[in-house]
Amino acid sequence: MIKNNPALCLLLGILFLIACSPAGSDTKNKSKDDLKQAEYALAIHGGAGTMSKANLTPETEKSIREALNNALSIGEEILKNGGTAMDAVEQTIIVLENSSHFNAGKGAVFTNAGTNELDASFMDGATRNAGAVGGVTVVKNPIKAARAVMEKSAHVLLTGEGANQFAREQNIEIVDPSYFHTDRRWESLQKAKAREEQTGELFSIDSPFKYGTVGCAALDKSGNLAAGTSTGGMTNKRYNRIGDSPIVGAGIYANNNTCAISSTGHGEFFIRFAVAYDISAMMEYKEMPFQEAADFVINQKLKAEGGSGGIIGVDKYGNVAMPFNTSGMYRGYVKPGEREVLIFR
């Protein structure tokens, strides 16, 4: 009997391994993804949502594309000159925070109380150190505070008035809360409140900026990865709600062995499904290429659960992934001799 014959099984197994081994070489069969594709790479997003050609004027679209390009240029300049992924990420995000187009820094949305509460996070792929702030109200560039938490404190996540105080002590630029006032975001709050009164739904804001966030991920010439995320959260939020942006593994993740990621979307889903870490885990444990893992998590797993949004990221080889399951995501990337800025599908 051929079936269930242990001796035959062993013999065939050995012959099988010999017959199927590559000739004259024991080099691993590397896929394209396994090769370093770029000396450096940097990807950014300015939020995912229901943006469409119809609700963006040509002027606004042009201005947003300019802001995204400016951010890419700042980041690329640093990487090209041999700067660190961490510096590139921080400086790129500062450009996005200082633009009123995006829901972060200057352009942050309003809470139900008419205030602005900003969240940000920063992560170093080399050490997997991380820092984050939740609900800061007077820090001009929350990404600076997040990096300072990583580098200058024993903690990962500081919140509220304590995080403001930490930023003050670190001599990070403080602004009057009125700095974050923009008429456009104020009107969004009034609309959200009116809609809430009518429908009882807190966050049914039909706006292209529903999931506004900014983020950046970078690979530098030394092979180090870093990521950062910054947001004003959700219009009309209450109870000092914190979303996924300052949560390591959800809104941000960076690991030199896999990838660096920044998320944007319905934060509660990104937290529950540990979206950023999950992509890294699928790469590490299932040996999936970055783009495949990122696409699977955003367009299969998350979508099946009703979670909307996207991520941008860079893997250790310089591959860029920017999947999203909404109708649009402000996004772009640069590599040596390559650059793209995109909004719609």
Among all residues, which ones are annotated catalytic?
213
Q: Hunting for tokens 């993740």 — which residue is that? A: 253
Q: Which stretch, 73-81, 84-92, 128-136, 176-184, contacts its own copies (CB under 8 A)? A: 128-136
Spell out the residues 6+ positions from residue 2 whose beta carbon is closer than 8 angstroms to its own: 8
Backbone angles phi, psi at 133, to 5 degrees: -125, 145
CB of 216 to its own copies, least distance (A): 19
Given 56, 156, 175, 342, the residue binding its own copies (CB under 8 A): 156
Interacting residues with its own copies between 171 and 230 (CB under 8 A): 202-203
Q: Tell me the site size for its own copies, rule CB under 8 A.
A: 61
Q: Is the dihedral of CA 185, 332, 71, 297 positive or negative?
A: positive
DSSP-derived 3-state class of residue 318? coil
Q: Which stretch, 76-84, 154-162, 218-226, 325-333, contacts its own copies (CB under 8 A)? A: 154-162
Interacting residues with its own copies between 2 and 21 (CB under 8 A): 2-5, 8-9, 12-13, 15-16, 18-21
Q: Any contact of residue 128 with its own copies (CB under 8 A)? A: yes
The dihedral over CA atoms of 66, 69, 74, 75, expressed in degrees to the nearest 10, equals 150
Tokens of 151: 């580098």
DSSP string computed for 63-123: HHHHHHHHHHHHHHHHHHTT--HHHHHHHHHHHHHHSTTSSSGGGPPPPTTS---EEEEEE
Q: Give the whole-angstrom CA distance, residue 230 versus residue 119.
A: 6
Nearer to its own copies, 18 or 54 (CB): 18
Q: Which stretch, 27-35, 98-106, 156-164, 174-182, contacts its own copies (CB under 8 A)? A: 156-164
- Beta strand 157-159 with 129-136 is parallel
Spell out the residues 6+ positions from residue 128 whose beta carbon is closer than 8 angstroms to its own: 254, 255
Q: Which stretch, 94-102, 152-160, 179-187, 321-329, contacts its own copies (CB under 8 A)? A: 152-160
Nearer to its own copies, 40 or 273 (CB): 273
CB of 185 to its own copies, least distance (A): 20
Given 146, 274, 334, 343, the residue binding its own copies (CB under 8 A): 274
Interacting residues with its own copies between 244 and 263 (CB under 8 A): 247-250, 253
Q: Hunting for tokens 């051929």 — which residue is that? A: 2
Binding site for its own copies (CB under 8 A): 2-5, 8-9, 12-13, 15-16, 18-23, 128-130, 134-135, 153-163, 165-166, 202-203, 237-243, 247-250, 253, 267-268, 271-274, 277-278, 281-282, 285-286, 305
